[in-house]
Amino acid sequence: MAYSALYRRLRPRSFADVVGQGHIVRTLKNQITTGRISHAYLFCGTRGTGKTTTALIFAKAVNCLSPKDGDPCGECAACHAVERGGGFNVIEIDAASNNGVENIRDIREEVKYPPAEGKTKTYIIDEVHMLSASAFNALLKTLEEPPPGVIFILATTDPQKIPGTVHSRCQRFDFKRVSVADMTEAVARYLTSEGIDFEMDAVRHAARIADGSMRDVLSILDQCASFYMGERITLDKVMDITGSVDAAVLSRLALALSKGAAAEYLLIIEDILQGGRDAHQVVSELIAHLRNLLIISTAGGSAGKLLDASDEGLAELRKTASELTPSLLTRYITVLSELTAKMRYAGNPRILLEAACIGLAEPVILATKDTKDTKKTIKPENISDKAAEEPVDKIINGWGAFLSSFGAVERNMLAEAKPERGPSGILRIVCGNAAIYDFLKRKREEISAKLAERFGEPVRVEIVPASGD
């Protein structure tokens, strides 16, 4: 299948295509037009907000033979070299896998020599917070005596971990989570230019779930497009792929709870879970839905601005909200938020969900019972006691429960992959298709950190594509 991930194919090539980071783009373009370029930058922000993309465009622009208003022309030999990824002037380093002092020493040796071609050499160090202490020291020495014609762009999701000495030598830019509106607009434009047919609500829903990350929204739509080859991308399909629950069903659930209609709400829960939804995700979606209802009932006319919903969606929410009081909604949100923390370690999250709903419908019982439940359910039940078991086996056996510690998108992607025992204690995560592989590869560090946290031992993780894909 000749198919490449949307986010790679649609990677912005000029500053104008970077979504939702207008403040940063403006400053960088100004620096290029005026020639006041710093020798070190620190790009901070959550994943998928455009840090490396912006770094690449900037690197291209500083070497471009005929930049236009701060943007790279995209036509000259220097621009082409960067786009092909084979240029000598732009070096991308992933600090997650090259975090030792020797990697930085190599760079220090290299930068002594002037750029082989073009004006400037740019080093983009991704996930720079992963560098070891000695590597940071080596990097600091280079930053203290910057060699001419060299620019460092350090990108990180965790600026707190950057030593103050390094931090103070860099010009810092903070990348914001991309708003649902900005993301929806950009993605709709992309899909249209690609000739992919879609429903606006489908894109909006994917954007909402992606929570500020362009990469995630494109991953969701990618999965949708590859799963339903050539078909229109609809809200139903996106909900299927992301395991989301229909807003109308969530409204019915909230109303049934408010009426104390046990038979009705238990049946609704049964229906949702029968459809293969995960209890943990159902609760987070229910909380998000209740929040929408609360905003509608308290913010009046401005609610439309605070919620990313279509007009029909807003009308539906208004109708439901009119039957519920703000204090009731607040209580539901509080209790369910506590529930999500408990569910993380629960052996049977479904029972917890049902019990919480019964408690919500009968406030008096809840007040006395809730305190007792906490102690029992918070204990991690899926962690094996067998000390002799290899860490990898332990992980594979507890895989299903482990997935519940991730957000919706990651969890669904991981559920499509298969954990396997690799050579010498490596955990292999085998991915069924290219979109999942691309996505999980980016998450390798996060996955191994969560594994260490949950299973108490560090384990090496490898993301591999399924053979023959």
Shortest spacing between CB 215 and Zn ion, in angstroms: 26
**Helices 408-415/235-242 angle, 10° precision:** 70
Shortest spacing between CB 71 and Zn ion, in angstroms: 9
Residue number, 53 or 404, with CB nearest to Zn ion = 53
**62 binds Zn ion, rule: CB under 5 A:** no
Per-residue binding letters, 260-299, with Zn ion (x by CB under 5 A): ----------------------------------------
Which of residues 24, 25, 40, 64 is near Zn ion by CB under 5 A?
64
Residue number, 31 or 297, with CB nearest to Zn ion = 31
User: What part of residues 73-112 is at the interface with Zn ion (CB under 5 A)?
Assistant: 73, 76, 79
User: What part of residues 418-447 is at the interface with Zn ion (CB under 5 A)?
Assistant: none
For residues 50 and 43, what is the distance between their CA atoms, to the nearest angstrom? 9
Shortest spacing between CB 63 and Zn ion, in angstroms: 8
Shortest spacing between CB 14 and Zn ion, in angstroms: 10
* Piece of the chain touching Zn ion by CB under 5 A; list 72-80, 136-144, 179-187, 203-211: 72-80
Phi, psi of 361 (to 5 degrees): -75, -25
Residue number, 57 or 64, with CB nearest to Zn ion = 64
Residue number, 67 or 359, with CB nearest to Zn ion = 67
Q: Amino acid identity, residue 434?
A: A
The answer to whether 107 and 146 are in contact (CB under 8 A) is no
Shortest spacing between CB 66 and Zn ion, in angstroms: 6
* Piece of the chain touching Zn ion by CB under 5 A; list 70-78, 119-127, 147-155, 369-377: 70-78
User: What part of residues 230-259 is at the interface with Zn ion (CB under 5 A)?
Assistant: none
Residue number, 37 or 255, with CB nearest to Zn ion = 37
* Piece of the chain touching Zn ion by CB under 5 A; list 58-66, 194-202, 292-300, 451-459: 58-66
Q: CA distances (Å), 319 to each of 73, 129, 328, 332, 364, in order?
A: 52, 48, 16, 18, 28
Residue number, 79 or 224, with CB nearest to Zn ion = 79
Shortest spacing between CB 81 and Zn ion, in angstroms: 10
Residue number, 9 or 80, with CB nearest to Zn ion = 80
Binding site for Zn ion (CB under 5 A): 64, 72-73, 76, 79
